[in-house]
């Protein structure tokens, strides 16, 4: 008689290997699909991060072209000695700048003494008045001491220094700190006790190292487009707001040519085209199937991402008042790649700068309300995606929520399978023990029967 068996346990069919095979089948049916969905979600989040970055770059390019300040960027070409710069946004036409005379400081040289550190500058205590300020001196002061006292009293108005004008000749020089006629200095020895050599007048023959006015403080005199003007300095920034001029040479006539900086605009157009191509190339890769390569974009089945190219194209290539970007050097080939002809835009700017500015950046109507240019419209569309709380924000949240939920689902499924197969293993072990006991008892009975029958 054959041994008793139950579902093959007694024969060793339902072993641990069988349980592992059953578990593997369940994991393939339950866990692996979740792993695939999690991997796809991760790819989507990575692709979204790239898409968001490219959209931001595209938005920066459109924003630059939507701001009419780009049309206030000028080039300055000066033929002459003057230096001229413009602040961004300054409204200045070409002009002629003629320098009649430069602004000067007040410079006075005292008569020389033989020694700056040993010779007394005065016969007694007294007062020297310079530019309305009093400087006290004493008989013990030396030339170096007097120079320091003058500098201390001068503050922001004037200062003194000592020049060695010969082998035994040291002269005190007093200079105003600023140019302009208002900074002229009057010098008076009120007490009359200074060494007479200091104040003895210069004479080319009899006193060549004597006291003399080297330079009198004066205003700059110049002509702006033939209009006479004066200023206290040679650096002038108040003739027209945003215009900065520095006079360099008396008698100079500088012709200043000011033109629109076309390169600033064409460079931004290059940035726009590059940003567009990178964004749309990525969108194409993310949303299409390549039959030859056997690849599928991560967002091929996502209607939101697939709609972005269409929505942006509608505004980028829109016609406005009979114009479109195609009229300003933009073109696009059969593969959707945008290109830019710099010469076409430069020609448009040369012919009618204002019309280009109006089409690109818009203007204000009679009531001060904005009229959008083409790049205002494109920028607004980009903001609909990238702005705080806008479409991209919601899309990113949905991807992250999906990823979190998939992770939780996987953990739940794994725990359920673990419990199921731990229970199954325990039951198989119990069944195996019972069957073993039954088989053992049957073997004993079989032996008794065989002995009784004489077998």
pLDDT at 420: 86
Asked if 279 and 55 count as a contact pair (C-beta separation under 8 A), the reply is yes
The residue-averaged pLDDT of 340-355 equals 95
Phi and psi at residue 327, in whole multiples of 5°?
A: -80, -10
Count of CB atoms situated within 10 Å of the CB of 256 = 22
Contact 231/219 with Cβ under 8 angstroms? Answer: yes
DSSP letter at 117 equals: S
**Cα within 13 Å of Cα(357), Cβ side:** 17
Q: Supply φ then ψ for residue 229, to 5 degrees.
A: -145, 160
Domain ranges of the chain: 1-73+261-437, 74-101+220-260, 107-215
Rounded to whole angstroms, the Cα distance separating 440 from 3 reads 9
> Helix, strand or coil for residue 118?
coil
Between CA 145 and CA 151, with CA 149 as vertex, the angle to 5 degrees is: 115
Quick one: tokens of 244?
A: 């900065």
Residues in Cβ contact with 377 at an 8 Å cutoff, skipping those fewer than 6 apart? 315, 318, 320
Structure tokens at 426: 């325990």
d(C-alpha 101, C-alpha 177), whole Å: 19
Q: Where are the alpha helices (DSSP H) in 318-352?
A: 342-351
Rounding to the nearest 10 degrees, give the CA dihedral for residues 344, 348, 350, 354.
-150
Report, as an integer, the average pLDDT of 377-405.
Answer: 93
pLDDT at position 336: 92
SS3 313: helix
pLDDT at 9 > cutoff 50: no
- Give the pairing of strands 169-176 and 107-113: antiparallel
Q: For residue 232, give the DSSP letter.
A: S
Tokens matching residue 378: 């494109």
pLDDT of residue 5: 38
For residues 394 and 380, the answer to whether their CB atoms sit within 8 Å is no
| DSSP-assigned beta bridge partners for residue 175 | 107, 159
Looking at residue 262, its pLDDT comes to 94
Q: How far apart are CA 101 and CA 229, in angstroms?
A: 11
pLDDT (tens digit per residue) in 222-268:
999 999 999 999 999 999 999 999 999 999 999 999 999 999 999 99
Residue 447: pLDDT over 80: no
Q: How far apart are CA 206 and CA 187, in angstroms?
A: 23
For 294-311, write each residue's pLDDT tens digit. Answer: 788 999 999 999 999 999
What is the average pLDDT score of the chain? 91
Does residue 443 register a pLDDT over 90? Answer: no
Q: What is the Cα–Cα distance from 388 to 384, expressed in whole angstroms?
A: 9
Tell me what pLDDT residue 204 has: 92
Residue 388 pLDDT level (bands cut at 50, 70, 90): confident
Query: Is 90 exceeded by the pLDDT of residue 331?
Result: yes
Q: Give the least confident one: 26-40, 96-110, 413-427.
A: 413-427
Least confident of 82-91, 365-374, 431-440: 431-440
Q: What is the DSSP string of 55-108?
A: HHHHHHHHHHHH-GGGGG-EEEEEESS-EEEE-TT-----EEEEEEE--B--EE
- % of the chain surpassing 90 pLDDT: 77
pLDDT value for 12: 55
Mean pLDDT within 136-145: 96
Cut 0.75: pTM above it = no
CA quadruple 11, 16, 17, 23: dihedral sign:
positive
């Amino acid at each position: 008689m054959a041994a008793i068996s139950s579902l093959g346990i007694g024969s060793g069919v339902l072993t641990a290997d069988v349980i592992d095979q059953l578990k593997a089948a369940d994991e393939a049916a339950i866990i692996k699909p979740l792993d695939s969905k999690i991997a796809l979600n991760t790819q989507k989040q990575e692709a979204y991060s790239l898409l968001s970055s490219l959209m931001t770059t595209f938005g920066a390019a459109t924003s630059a072209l939507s701001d009419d300040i780009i049309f206030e960027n000028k080039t300055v070409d000066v033929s002459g000695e003057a230096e001229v710069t413009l602040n961004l946004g300054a409204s200045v036409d070409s002009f002629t700048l003629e320098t009649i005379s430069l602004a000067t400081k007040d410079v006075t040289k005292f008569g020389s003494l033989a020694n700056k550190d040993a010779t007394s500058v005065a016969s007694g205590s007294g007062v020297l008045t310079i530019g309305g300020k009093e400087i006290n001196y004493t008989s013990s002061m030396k030339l170096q001491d007097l120079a320091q006292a003058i500098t201390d009293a001068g503050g922001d108005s004037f200062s003194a220094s000592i020049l060695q004008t010969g082998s035994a000749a040291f002269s005190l020089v007093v200079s105003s700190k600023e140019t302009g006629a208002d900074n002229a200095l009057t010098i008076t020895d009120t007490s009359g006790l200074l060494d007479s050599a200091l104040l003895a007048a210069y004479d080319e023959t009899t006193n060549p190292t004597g006291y003399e006015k080297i330079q009198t403080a004066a205003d700059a005199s110049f002509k702006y487009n033939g209009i006479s003007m004066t200023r206290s300095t040679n650096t002038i920034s108040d003739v027209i707001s945003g215009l900065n001029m520095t006079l360099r040479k008396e008698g100079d006539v500088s012709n200043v040519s000011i033109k629109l900086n076309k390169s600033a605009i064409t460079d931004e157009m290059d940035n726009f085209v590059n940003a567009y191509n990178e964004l749309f190339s990525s969108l194409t890769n993310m949303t299409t199937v390549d039959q030859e390569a056997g690849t599928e974009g991560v967002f091929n089945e996502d209607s939101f991402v697939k709609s972005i190219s269409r929505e942006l194209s509608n505004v980028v290539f829109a016609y406005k008042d009979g114009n479109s970007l195609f009229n300003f050097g933009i073109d696009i080939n059969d593969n959707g790649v945008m290109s830019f002809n710099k010469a076409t835009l430069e020609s448009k700017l040369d012919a009618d700068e204002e019309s280009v500015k109006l089409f690109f950046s818009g203007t204000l109507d009679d009531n001060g309300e904005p009229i959008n240019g083409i790049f205002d419209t494109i920028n607004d569309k980009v903001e609909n995606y990238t702005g705080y709380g806008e479409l991209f924000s919601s899309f990113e949240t949905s991807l992250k929520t999906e990823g979190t939920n998939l992770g939780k689902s996987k953990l739940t499924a794994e725990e359920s399978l673990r419990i199921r197969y731990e229970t199954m293993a325990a039951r198989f072990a119990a069944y195996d023990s019972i069957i073993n006991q039954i088989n053992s008892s049957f073997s004993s009975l079989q032996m008794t029967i065989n002995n009784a029958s004489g077998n």
